[in-house]
Structure 1
């Protein structure tokens, strides 16, 4: 990277994050099957990266330079070269981790994952029976011929064999492809051998052992695995007219037929065979990516563990919150004081209770909520349906542009609409990414009171067990009033009065954050203590980065806990030499956004659904919210302190965006933020 470059490329920065995930796969202190899970996460992340980001960059590379606006002048072809170079280095390390560490350790524990190795003959009969009774029904062999006007169809992310065959009857060479139906059948089959070892076999190899039943009268001369990634980012035209929901329904079917972004092939494939495939699938050179014998290794999520729960993380029982449990209802507890929940350390059942109690409480009159990513079997959606059937007025804003969740969101929207819920669909031109809910309830004086939930994460009980997020339950009257204004804007696009407490993108979020940073800059210039601490998933927007650079130059102490993309470049003398950028990757996905400003000792703390990305600041509705309760402020400060002091899983990010290990001093105790946060919260709740 050139010294004068002040912004790191977002895609290369993301690859730096995904490499940090890969690093967990080789950490000997991580249980064996958790390390395998990190291989799966790395593979899944990379797959989506090629389907979305690389596909977009390839589209840019095909545009005439003159037509590129200033924002896009990033030399896409050169960027693609850098991406492929970086990914190839990472994939080589992926292979080394798997072959040199994971597979030998599995064997040491009598688990043989057959990764291109010979399967014991004692299991061949059982494998053949499984193949004939289960697998054969899903196979769809297709013979290939060059010169076809349209390329042969391959499912996006589907895995296939391509075969060179000798037709014994006609005495000629033929080519074919054959699907590996891992979307319908388990990718792995497990057998127990006579010596008590466990043999795990890929579905791919079960098929390969039985190809004679698929291609009778043929001899297999070559068989190699392939996979095609396609552009999967819905190209939705967000006009200000027309039926947006119907547009998305139509686009969902198109996701499988997008432009190719990566053709992954077994690197043992002969060059002339690859040339033949380029012709029949109509591929370009830049789409070709050599890989290993097996693809879609995100299936390692489901690798059988015959010794379960051995080799996996010890399950932590979610902590109960006594201040909520001791009251007759969750609303009584919130009336007494603000309540903060830290997930996944606290039980997510309290969020479910909030909606369940609202659904049956005779005093509750109205419920409003935004839903961005809904669980497949959503208990929250079911509670909302019950509320509607119990004559509550229920309004649900469903974001149908949530990437890869559009279909599930639409399915639930239809169910809720059929139950009488007022469904508001996406706003043209904007995504609604806020995670907020409002319950209106009559009190003893027959007056309407509001109860709000403000969150940093989705209303999704499935992901809540693995995402680190925070949720605030409050009756703060001004915050309630402003939240109601947000919902009225979403519903009827009513003009919004000034927000004095909430930070809402499209209205005041960026402006208020800039003001708070300006205040720290002024304090630093006056010789006073000034600090900014920010925890984000992603930092991309140049306006916000420039303000952080300005803060650095003024003498403000800036600490960034940045999990993913970070386009800010630390360590540049006279610009960012005192900005500390750190990254935490561990058992759970760090997802919360926290913003802390020293403010001359009167510290301000905000939480938000928003990263500092262009999309969050300019093309979404996001809600940031203040924390006023002193006790909750102390909790959040402690939470951040634990992360900054981590010496097990924390990495610092240098000027080249490398993940630099934090060196633990001799005799320094082990500090692991996620482990320590759980024990701290558990002790805190037990002491109440």
Structure 2
């Protein structure tokens, strides 16, 4: 242990300054990769539309959380330089430059490429001026029946102060003139969120909802002359602040904070590029917007609403239907029997979530031999069959304990509702450990076997218990009936629900107590193995790699000659290819039909690979401020399968983005002869179906 301690605590003086990139800028580069998928003419057209929508939604959350966090640091006077050496003020300027460029590029992709392609396919998104008389009459009827009753124009004058603009709402700024007095006035109309983003005309033609409202402004301002109107949109700080040490009721405190979320400080003002200077000055003055917070782009705004178009029933313009495979062996026996015989590793969405994870909880709820279920819930769907199974289990008299993380960002209200429904059904609901988010994905079922003994059946996953996202998120789940895994999960649940201080486990590594040190020790062990001439290799797959200590450990491993392969979907602030520091490091990113979400850690371990999977990304919040769990994969076939997946992703013949030392990501889709490289997700989809058929 002495060597590991030295490795962990080693000063960074031996490593160069500038070795960390800006996390915020690199996240924007991740969203750029999403945009590149939308720009790819080889993608099915409606999937390109969906990537445009995903880009817009991602950028909203980036401003609501990351940009808001930088602004809060400046406002509170704790604005010190970050790991990259850049001050938050510098970062905000750089973020504004990059994000504005990307938003303009996003608009160009829509206007110059995707919208014309949609029109060619018979799907038209029209502006009001493009409508013929027939369509306008249709929209007049729609406006009178479905829009006018819910609209409220807000005038701005000495008796009517500028109205509050809620976050992510779409609005119209309107200037009118009184023909009797000649005086001009300003008004704001909020587009009701209950209305569709695009109003459907006949067939597959649509018009933005704000255009329908704008086309009827004379009715809203009867007797006035409408001079101009412009769409605008505000993004606000959406981070919640609840002092868990001071509150007596976490749920009530969080609900109050959710009400305040709409009123957070502004972080971005979006306007259409044809807005007049006079109206823009009014908005800037009344909203307190600084120049770098204002972005002007061609309309329509809020293209996150393009999901509505992407969902059209045009199968020839979408990915072919995905039918998950049944894991081999499950057809012949029930899930408990299969898991009792051998641990089961499942890979979603290639292998079915419904017939494995959902079935696991459903069987536990109805099996009379099951006496108890313990479950964590971080995010789940609005119609979750897993929650319904837990409710059924409680009503049938089983002991059901559910840890609901009500602080899961943007799912707080949904999780509070589920928590109350579970409590009403008789489940024991707890909200985790004070000061920590519970992010681990665990399910524990206690069953009385035929011989009268109790056996624990366990599931440890990398993704949420969410049937909806399980269809598009790539994740792993490991089912086990091994006693040591059952003991580990029992110990961890006791920590979450009571006052246990257990920090060491048999096959788990858990944050915040042992995960950081456990990973660092294993990185150090690879350095020793390499020095001794034994096989050494570090392979890591995560969503984000931003933790400085872990990155420094990887730098030292690379400097010692250990090959380091990093598969990172989102932010990575490590610089590969730095001479003498990270020459053996390769960083790849794969984006596509499915969201790469699993976390896998593989260490060569002298030729006997040690492989872990679980919920933790390599970020300070995951390692220090969350309850996370990784499980060691024991089955040799499972370990080999995961190592093979990692190697395939890093292979030069696989299509991916490569990160360079300058922080730029370069997409590689064809080999030197121009032939397409392997699409990993398509290959896995084919392989899993072949495996299931052969099995």
Q: TM-score surpassing 0.5?
A: yes
SS at match of 1:25: helix
1:394 counterpart = 2:381: no
- Which of 673, 682, 685 aligns to 2:689? It is 682
Task: Identify the range of structure 1 (31-40 vs 420-429) with the bigger mean alpha-carbon deviation.
Answer: 420-429
In the TM superposition, residue 478 of structure 1 has moved relative to its aligned partner by: 0.8
> Any unmatched runs of 5+ in structure 2?
1-15
Query: Residue 4 of structure 1: CA displacement?
Result: 4.1
- 2:549 is aligned, of 543, 553, 575, to 543
1:336 equivalent in alignment to 2:341 = yes
CA 8–73 in structure 1, closer or farther in 2 if over 3 Å, else same: closer
Of the candidates 263, 266, 279, which is equivalent to residue 273 of structure 1? 279
Alpha-carbon distance, 1:678 to partner: 0.9
68 and 79 in structure 1: CA distance in 2 versus 1, 3 angstrom threshold: closer
Partner of 2:198: 188
Of residues 590, 597, 601, the one that matches 2:596 is 590
Query: 1: distance between equivalents of 2:676 and 2:288?
Result: 58
The 10-residue stretch of structure 1 (396-405 or 274-283) with the greater mean CA deviation from structure 2: 274-283
SS of 2:601's equivalent?
Answer: strand
Counterpart-to-counterpart distance in 2, 1:493 and 1:400:
20
Partners of 1:146 and 1:264 in 2: how far apart? Answer: 26
Contact 1:169–1:217 (CA under 8 A) maintained in structure 2: no
The partner residue of 1:579 within 576, 585, 591 is 585
**Distance (whole Å) between structure 1 residues aligned to residue 368 and residue 678 of structure 2:** 48
Aligned-pair CA distance for 1:435: 0.2
* Match of residue 153, structure 1, among 146, 158, 164: 164
Report how far residue 117 of structure 1 moved: 5.4
Structure 1 residue 659, shift from structure 2 partner? 1.8
**265, 268, 279: which one aligns with 1:262:** 268
Tell me if the contact between 2:18 and 2:84 (Cα under 8 Å) persists in the aligned partners: no
Tell me, in whole angstroms, the C-alpha distance in 1 between the residues paired with 2:84 and 2:45: 43
8 Å CA contact 2:127, 2:211 repeated in 1? no
Report deviation, 1:408: 0.5
Structure 1's 240 and 141: CA in aligned 2 closer, same or farther, altered over 3 A?
closer
CA–CA separation in structure 1 for the residues paired with 2:533 and 2:663: 32
State whether structure 2 residue 75 is matched by structure 1 residue 62.
Answer: yes
- In the alignment of these two chains, the number of paired residues is 679
Question: Is the CA contact 2:20–2:83 (under 8 Å) kept in the aligned structure 1?
Answer: no
Deviations for 1:84-141, whole angstroms, at most 9, x for unmatched residues?
1001111221122112211221222233222575222221111110011111122110
**Residue 163 (structure 1) aligns with:** 174
Q: Is 1:27–1:35's contact at 8 Å kept on the other side of the alignment?
A: yes
**How far apart, in 1, do the equivalents of 2:283 and 2:442 lie?**
50
TM-score by length of 1: 0.95
How has the CA–CA distance of structure 1 residues 646 and 214 changed in structure 2, closer, same or farther, with 3 Å as cutoff? Answer: farther
Match of 1:46 among 59, 62, 67: 59
CA distance in 2, matches of 1:117, 1:27: 30
Instruction: Answer yes or no: is the 8 Å Cα contact 2:266–2:287 preserved in 1.
Output: no
Structure 1: how far apart are the matches of 2:201 and 2:648? 44
2:434 and 2:280 map into 1 onto residues whose CA distance is 44
Q: Which moved more, 1:384-393 or 1:633-642?
A: 633-642
Cα distance in 2 for partners of 1:385, 1:650 equals: 43
- Mapped contact 2:463–2:598 kept (Cα < 8 A): yes
User: What corresponds to 1:128 in structure 2?
Assistant: 140
| Secondary structure class of the residue paired with 2:447 | strand
Quote the residue 2:317 is aligned against: 311
Would the aligned equivalents of 2:155 and 2:186 in 1 still touch at CA under 8 Å?
Answer: yes
Deviation, 1:637, is 2.4
TM-score (norm 2): 0.94
Report SS of the residue matched to 1:303.
helix
The range that moved more, 467-476 or 203-212, is 203-212
Give the match's secondary structure for 2:408. coil
Q: How does 1:333-412 map to 2 (within 5 A)?
A: 333-349=338-354, 350-412=356-418
Q: CA deviation at 1:653?
A: 0.8
Find the residue that maps to 1:341 and give its secondary structure: strand
> Of the candidates 122, 125, 146, which is equivalent to residue 110 of structure 1?
122
Matches within 5 A, 1:431-580: 431-496=437-502, 498-580=504-586
| Structure 1 residues 72 and 238: alpha-carbon distance in aligned structure 2, compared to 1, 3 A threshold | farther
The alignment's C-alpha RMSD in Å is 2.0
Matches of 1:231 and 1:306 in 2, distance apart? 33
Partner Cα separation in structure 2 for residue 81 and residue 162 of structure 1: 27
Contact 1:646 1:672 in 2 (8 A): no
1:611 aligns with 2:621: no
Contact 2:612 / 2:630 at 8 angstroms: preserved in 1?
Answer: yes
Q: How far is 1:529 from its partner?
A: 2.6
Structure-to-structure mapping, 1:75-94, within 5 angstroms: 75-94=87-106
- Does structure 2 retain, via aligned residues, the 8 Å contact 1:244–1:428? no
User: Partners of 2:80 and 2:431 in 1: how far apart?
Assistant: 32
Distance 1:304 1:346, change over 3 A: closer
Give the distance between the partners of 1:596 and 1:115, measured in 2 at CA. Answer: 53
What is the rounded CA distance, in whole Å, between the counterparts of 2:108 and 2:20 in structure 1? 32
Does the alignment pair 1:179 with 2:190?
yes
Q: Quick one: distance in 1 between partners of 2:644 and 2:109?
A: 35
What secondary structure does 1:367 align onto? strand
Indicate how the Cα distance of structure 1 residues 514 and 245 shifts in structure 2: closer, same or farther if over 3 A, else same.
same
Q: Which residue of 2 aligns with 1:13?
A: 26
Deviations 1:493-549 (A, max 9, x none): 212163132000122111111111111101112233310010000011111000000
- 1:31 matched to 2:38? The reply is no
